[in-house]
Structure 1
Amino acid sequence: MTIRPSRRSAATGAHLLAEDDAGHSVVYRTAERGAAAAEPGSEVSFEVDHIDEHQSTGWSVLIVGIAEHVADPGEVRRFEEQPGSRPWAGGVRSLWIRIVPGQVSGRLIRGL
């Protein structure tokens, strides 16, 4: 994930959830003062990749959009109840951020 506060960029890892019913967005949780804590209204990018070395295949998807903080307790509870929502990293990760996509691009790689 890349966050662009002001004129600088920072790349960091984040644990994501796809949000189907709320408009094809991506949500993730982070620490309130963590490196991935994008400011509301800021432009962010999020990249997801997968490589299968045995099949010589892979794919990559890049989303560029606007960050929103999720403050509604019902939405937060719904995200926390989803499988895979528990962060792997230690520490408190109480801030949920939604990325509303403006651009989506991708690439599929197939070996010979």
Structure 2
Amino acid sequence: MNHDTDHRHITAEPRRRIELGSVEALRLLGSVSLGRIVFTQHALPTVRPVNHALDGGDIVIRTHEAAALTMHARQTEGPGVVVAYEADDIDPDTHLGWSVVVTGYARLVTEPGELARYQGMLRPWVDQSMDQAMRIHPDLVTGVLLTADGRPGEV
């Protein structure tokens, strides 16, 4: 990016950060289709962009058999793989908007009928076979609204 030709106006007004309740945070997360999943790979944090859908309060993503997260989930016993999921809608010019982070356990969907339903709900956005699905149950949901005047407006 050439800073001499970047003429975007960024407001100088101070922003206010308003904490969102979990219900409102999940509502906002459900209003967008793209987020980022964070998990560990070789004991280090790994982030992948994915599309998602909400289903009964859980976040559902599609993946493929050779994906690192899929392989990690197949090797994990117990409640699933610990993950964080983040989605946001922040205006690049004003820096106003919202961000939501969900922490919980991701499990592979193995029931054929449920897997078929998720395959119908979520269309892959990459040119690759996405034959698996994962369901993330939110154990911790946090969200923030970034406003110019401190008043929650229409988001």
TM class by smaller structure? 0.7 to 0.9
Paired residue for 2:46? 10
SS in 2 for 1:87: coil
- CA drift of 1:77 comes to 1.8
TM-score (norm. length: structure 2)? 0.62
1:88 aligns with 2:122: no
* TM-score normalised per structure 1: 0.83
Q: Which residue of 1 aligns with 2:17?
A: none
Is the contact between residue 5 and residue 42 of structure 1 (CA under 8 Å) also seen in structure 2?
A: no
- Relative to its length, the structure with more strand (as a share) is 1
- Where do residues 31-110 of structure 1 align in structure 2 (5 Å cutoff)? 31-37=64-70, 38-39=72-73, 40=76, 41-53=80-92, 57-82=96-121, 85-110=122-147
User: What per-residue deviation string (whole Å, max 9, x for no partner) do you get for residues 55-102 of structure 1?
Assistant: 7531111011111100111111222222xx111111111110011111
Q: Distance in 1 between matches of 2:42 and 2:88?
A: 27
With over 3 angstroms needed to count, the CA separation of the structure-2 counterparts of 1:8 and 1:53, relative to structure 1, is closer
Question: Tell me, what secondary structure is at the counterpart of 2:102?
Answer: strand
CA distance in 2, matches of 1:25, 1:97: 10
Shift, 1:52, TM fit: 3.3
User: What residue number does 2:60 align with?
Assistant: 27
CA distance 1:8–1:56, change in 2 (3 Å): closer
Percent identity over paired residues: 29
Q: Where in structure 1 are there 5+ consecutive unaligned residues? A: none
Q: Deviations over 1:13-33 (max 9, x none)?
A: 11111112xxx1101001111
Number of positions where the alignment pairs a residue of Structure 1 with one of Structure 2: 107
Distance 2:44 2:94 in 1: 38
Distance of 2:120 and 2:48 partners within structure 1: 24
- Structure holding more helix per residue: 2
